[in-house]
Chain A
Amino acid sequence: MAPPVRYIEKTQAYYRSVGYPKPYKYARFDSAPFTPLDKPLERCRVGLVATAGVTLLDDDGRPAPMKVLGGEEANVVEIPSDTPVERLVSIEEHYDRHATTVDDVNAFFPISHLQALAGDGTIGGLAPRFQKIFPNYSHRVTLTRDAPVVLAQLQADQVDAALLVPV
């Protein structure tokens, strides 16, 4: 089995080759914060936070308009956790379109699986709303603007643990 793709190296080389002078600086930390889960999963209310481009269809079956990277406006969108997967559609563009597909929402926003796991009691329940964040190039914007909004929503919903899914 080939080793995992070295994305940091590859993206930096790629953007250098198309004329960007400054390499994107990936976040780097030597340690991680840690909060142990203090009760069994079957008593936990679980949240889902994703950066994947998933959007709700309106009553006419139209997807919400797409936002673009780098915007300054608030960037967290709520998706009710009881939404049937058929009402969600992918608008993702930042994926490996040559190797895979995003036509199965559950492969990057596992809402049906979480509904089933809550239904059969594997987990205690679901947060009433899941969150979709639009990725931002700025670590500062993500940390000071978007992350606190997600935290406030999870705290308000008394979420015990969260699954986080990047693209």
Chain B
Amino acid sequence: MGLVARHLEANGIPTVTFSCARDITAAVRPPRSVFLDYPLGSTCGRPHDPANQRAVILTALALLETGRTAGEIVDLPYEWSADERWKQLIFSPEQPFLSEEAEARRQAGLAAARQAKREIKATSVD
């Protein structure tokens, strides 16, 4: 998503990117970002907490208006939970990232993409 932000910005459209993965955002360096230290999937605030979501969005909009530094990341002050065990469990053996079903679908998609690529190559050789 950072790549898309950079493309839009380079072509004259100001952007602000939301992030729950600070290291990835810092590497890709979108023009402006707000970092929320929540689990992946809750990028714009806590589910079923409209006040929290609204606060996140207003911070992003404010950065859009006031930001002057390319690549700036604003760290939001909200904490997901007092117990931060969710961070330790990410990508651990007891918590595979995708369900078995989702992983199977992902593998099937990759296989289909590889197959399509092979077919394109085969046709262009002819």
Residues of chain A whose beta carbon lies under 8 Å from any beta carbon of chain B = 1-2, 4-11, 13-14, 26-37, 40-41, 46, 49, 51-52, 66-72, 92-104, 106-110, 112-114, 117, 122-123, 133, 135, 139, 142-143, 146-148, 150-151, 154-155, 159-167
Q: A96-B41, A104-B47, A164-B4 are known contacts. Are A33 and B112 too (CB-CB below 8 A)?
A: no
Chain A-chain B contacts (Cβ-Cβ < 8 Å), number: 258
Q: Is the CB of A103 within 8 A of B47?
A: yes
Residues of chain B whose beta carbon lies under 8 Å from any beta carbon of chain A = 1-19, 21-24, 27-31, 35, 37-50, 53-54, 57-58, 60-61, 64-65, 68-71, 79-80, 84, 86-87, 89-91, 95, 97-99, 102, 105-106, 108-110, 112-113, 116-117, 120
Q: A36-B68, A117-B57, A161-B15 are known contacts. Are A95 and B39 too (CB-CB below 8 A)?
A: yes
Contacts of B49 in A (CB 8 A): 107
Q: A5-B90, A36-B14, A98-B89 are known contacts. Are A29 and B57 too (CB-CB below 8 A)?
A: no
Shortest CB–CB separation between residue B5 and chain A, in angstroms? 5
Residue in B30, B61, B65, B87 whose beta carbon sits within 8 Å of that of A2 in the complex: B87
- Select the residue from A67, A95, A133, A150 with max chain B CB neighbours within 10 A: A95
- Once bound together, how far apart are the Cα atoms of A9 and B23, in whole Å? 9
- Once bound together, how far apart are the Cα atoms of A52 and B9, in whole Å? 21
Shortest CB–CB separation between residue B96 and chain A, in angstroms? 8
Q: A29-B28, A70-B109 are known contacts. Are A107 and B8 too (CB-CB below 8 A)?
A: no
Q: Is the CB of B9 within 8 A of A33?
A: yes
- Once bound together, how far apart are the Cα atoms of A37 and B29, in whole Å? 18
Q: Is the CB of A162 within 8 A of B61?
A: no
25 residue pairs of the A-B complex, CB under 8 angstroms, read A2-B84, A8-B24, A29-B28, A33-B31, A41-B61, A49-B4, A51-B1, A52-B43, A72-B120, A96-B41, A96-B90, A99-B80, A99-B89, A107-B48, A107-B53, A113-B44, A117-B61, A148-B7, A151-B7, A155-B11, A160-B14, A164-B8, A164-B17, A166-B17, A166-B21
